[in-house]
């Protein structure tokens, strides 16, 4: 099998839209993907089909039966297998010439996050543990762009952080973080056991999940990543974010910078009542 012919054929229809320079930027960017579940799997699949040459994968979980309803790589043959191993196999089936530079099937720690992010060209943050805030801290420190997305029951939200040009934090968020974490040891200084305790205390309960929602979020993430790397199109850059609800047929662009946002004021008020 000729590599040049294979890649050229795979990207034939894509390159009818995207110019050669942009295609090369995307292919040669190292994509670090944290979280390979309902959102992350479709993200990895689509990026492999963009001809991306180098990946980094992080997810501590194995596939189980509850993943079958929505997670692209969950099948009868992958139950019990680590998600990073299955994702690597799938990526290489699409593009045998792709390289998995780093593969981490462990819980998030300060040391493995640093190793995972260092040298990456962009971070795709799909993981849903509270400690995954470490990815944002590390990307901000290293000035690496990050795209985040998550699914609600019938909708989702996607946002891009271009840490190359800005630290991406609003005054309101600074106040909120200072109040919320004032009596807590900084996440970047926590041991592995302390991070586990932090996750257990702050993790959300299991909620319903629909496959057309999670996969839609993944598609929007790839769209944002492609635009950010190529410099083509219009990204939803922080503090703006894209929010959609497929049951109510809505898709809106909002801003987390608005001080008059009711949900932010309510959130701050409820927190201050507790303290």
For residue 257, what pLDDT is reported? 75
Question: In the predicted model, is pLDDT for residue 270 greater than 70?
Answer: no
Average pLDDT of the chain is 92
Q: Residue ranges per domain, the chain?
A: 3-169+208-257
pLDDT band for position 232 (cuts 50, 70, 90)? very high
For residue 39, what pLDDT is reported? 98
For residue 266, what pLDDT is reported? 56
Q: What pTM did the predictor assign?
A: 0.91
Write out pLDDT tens, residues 23-82.
Answer: 999 999 999 999 999 999 999 999 999 999 999 999 999 999 999 999 999 999 999 999
For residue 268, what pLDDT is reported? 54
Higher pLDDT, 244 or 180: 244
CATH class of residue range 3-169+208-257:
alpha beta
pLDDT band for position 259 (cuts 50, 70, 90)? low
pLDDT band for position 262 (cuts 50, 70, 90)? low
For residue 258, what pLDDT is reported? 66
pLDDT band for position 272 (cuts 50, 70, 90)? low
Q: Which range is least confidently modeled, 21-30, 87-96, 103-112, 256-265?
A: 256-265
For residues 185 and 192, give the distance between their C-alpha atoms in angstroms, rounded to a whole number. Answer: 13
Q: What is the mean pLDDT of residues 172-191?
A: 80
Q: What is the mean pLDDT of residues 198-222?
A: 92
């Amino acid at each position: 099998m000729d590599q040049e012919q294979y890649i050229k054929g795979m990207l034939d229809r894509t390159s009818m839209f995207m110019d050669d320079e942009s295609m090369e930027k995307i292919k040669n960017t190292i994509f670090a993907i944290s979280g390979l579940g309902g959102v992350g799997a479709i993200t990895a699949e689509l990026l492999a089909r963009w001809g991306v040459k180098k990946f980094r994968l992080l997810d501590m979980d194995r596939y189980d039966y509850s993943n079958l309803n929505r997670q692209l790589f969950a099948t009868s043959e992958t139950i019990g297998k680590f998600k990073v191993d299955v994702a690597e196999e799938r990526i290489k089936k699409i593009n045998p010439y792709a390289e998995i530079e780093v593969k981490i099937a462990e819980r998030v720690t300060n040391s493995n996050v640093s190793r995972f992010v260092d040298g990456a060209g962009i971070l795709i943050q799909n993981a849903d543990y509270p400690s995954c805030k470490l990815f944002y801290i590390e990307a901000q420190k290293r000035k690496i762009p990050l795209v985040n997305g998550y699914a609600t029951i019938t909708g989702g939200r996607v946002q891009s952080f271009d840490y190359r040009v800005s630290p991406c934090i609003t005054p309101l968020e600074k106040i909120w973080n200072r109040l919320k974490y004032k009596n807590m040891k900084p996440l970047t200084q926590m041991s592995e056991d302390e991070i586990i305790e932090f996750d257990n205390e702050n993790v959300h309960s299991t909620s319903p999940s629909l496959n057309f929602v999670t996969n839609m979020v993944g598609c929007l993430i790839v769209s944002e990543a492609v635009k950010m790397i190529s410099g083509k199109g219009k990204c939803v850059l922080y503090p703006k974010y894209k929010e959609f609800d497929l049951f109510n047929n809505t898709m809106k662009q909002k801003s987390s910078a608005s001080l008059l946002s009711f949900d932010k004021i309510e959130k701050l008020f409820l927190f201050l009542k507790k303290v």
